[in-house]
Structure formats: structure tokens, C-alpha cells
């Protein structure tokens, strides 16, 4: 069984890693390389969904109340309030990008950016 600190530290490393990918995809946009933006974000999309799915699976598998104290549980709940909606918006971001519905893509990007910023802040703030 993984310990609470192990789970949270792994989560932090993954959140930072995929955020670096997202930032790289935005750099590609600024450099007018939309195809590269799409390619990097395809990887970002898959890794983020895998992370959220794996994390949810771990929470089902472990004894949450024995692994995390009250504060950590509350912090995790707050984190998931951002991370799960962010992951739900991602397929629409991917499809709108692929289908070049750019207006829709930008509207979703605003929503997604808020959710992702919350995901990163509440993820890095988790106690471990
Ligand atoms: C969060 C901030 C994001 C912004 C501001 C943004 C913005 C844009 C813009 C302006 C384009 C059109 C580029 C062009 O054709 O000139 C584009 C394309 C695209 N975006 Fe995003 N995007 C963001 C995030 C994402 C995410 C998270 C994904 C995937 C889940 C994604 C997937 C794509 C794809 C697949 C394309 C088409 C690339 C191609 O032409 O091959 N984007 N994005």
C-alpha cells in the first residue's frame, strides 16, 4: 500500500510535468507553430486523463481515512473540485482544436485555464 505522502508527492510531480507540457504548447502557439501546439497537447491530454484516472483508482483502492488525516482529505477534495472538471473539459478542447473551431477552442481555453490554475495551486499546496 502506498503511503499518503508517497501518493501526494507522485501527484505533485505529475501535475508539474504535464503543466510544463501545457506551457510548451503555448510557447509553440506564440511561435506560430499550431501543429506543434496540437501535438504537444495531444500528449498532455492523454497523460492528464491517465493521471486523473489513476489517482481516482488509487483513492478507491486505498483506505482513504487511514491514509490521510482530516486536513489532507479536505485539501484533496478541494484539489479534485478543480482537477476533475478540468479533465472533463479536455476532450472538448482537443476536439475543438482538431476541428479548428477556434472561437469555441478559445472560450474553452479560458475556462480550462482557470480550472488548471486551480488544479496546480491546490495540487502543489497539498500536505505531504
Ligand atoms: C489553454 C490554452 C490554449 C489556448 C490559448 C489554445 C489556443 C489554440 C489556438 C489559437 C489554436 C489555433 C492555432 C492555429 O491554427 O493558428 C489551437 C489549435 C489547437 N489546439 Fe489549442 N489552445 C489551448 C489549449 C489546448 C489544449 C489543452 C488542447 C488539447 C487538449 C489543445 C488542442 C489543440 C489542437 C489539437 C489544435 C489544432 C492544431 C493543428 O492545427 O494541428 N489546445 N489552440
Cell digits of residue 111: 475556462
Distance between Cα 127 and ligand 1 center (Å)? 33
Query: How much is the pTM?
Result: 0.93
Write out the residue range of the structural domain in which residue 102 sits.
4-124
The pLDDT score that the predictor gives to residue 26 is 98
What's the domain count of the chain? 1
Q: By alpha-carbon position, which residue is closest to atom 4 of ligand 1?
A: 109
The pLDDT score that the predictor gives to residue 1 is 81
| Segments of the chain scoring below 70 in pLDDT | none
Protein residues whose CB sits closer than 6 Å to any atom of ligand 1: 29, 34-35, 37-38, 41, 45, 90, 93-94, 97-98, 102, 105, 109, 112-113
- Give the atom of ligand 1 at the shortest distance from the alpha carbon of 100: 37
pLDDT tens, residue by residue, 34-66: 999 999 999 999 999 999 899 989 999 999 999
Residue 126 neighbours by CB distance under 10 Å: 21
The pLDDT score that the predictor gives to residue 7 is 94
Amino acid at each position: 500500500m502506498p503511503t499518503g505522502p508517497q501518493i501526494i508527492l507522485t501527484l505533485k510531480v505529475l501535475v508539474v510535468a504535464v503543466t510544463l507540457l501545457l506551457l510548451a504548447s503555448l510557447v509553440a502557439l506564440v511561435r506560430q507553430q499550431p501543429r506543434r501546439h496540437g501535438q504537444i497537447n495531444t500528449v498532455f491530454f492523454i497523460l492528464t486523463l491517465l493521471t486523473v484516472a489513476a489517482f481516482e483508482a488509487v483513492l478507491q483502492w486505498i483506505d482513504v481515512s487511514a491514509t490521510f488525516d482530516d486536513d489532507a482529505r479536505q485539501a484533496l477534495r478541494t484539489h479534485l473540485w478543480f482537477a476533475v472538471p478540468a479533465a472533463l473539459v479536455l476532450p472538448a478542447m482537443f476536439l475543438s482544436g482538431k476541428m479548428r473551431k477556434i472561437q469555441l477552442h478559445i472560450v474553452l481555453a479560458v475556462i480550462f485555464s482557470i480550472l488548471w490554475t486551480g488544479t496546480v495551486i491546490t495540487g502543489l499546496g497539498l500536505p505531504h
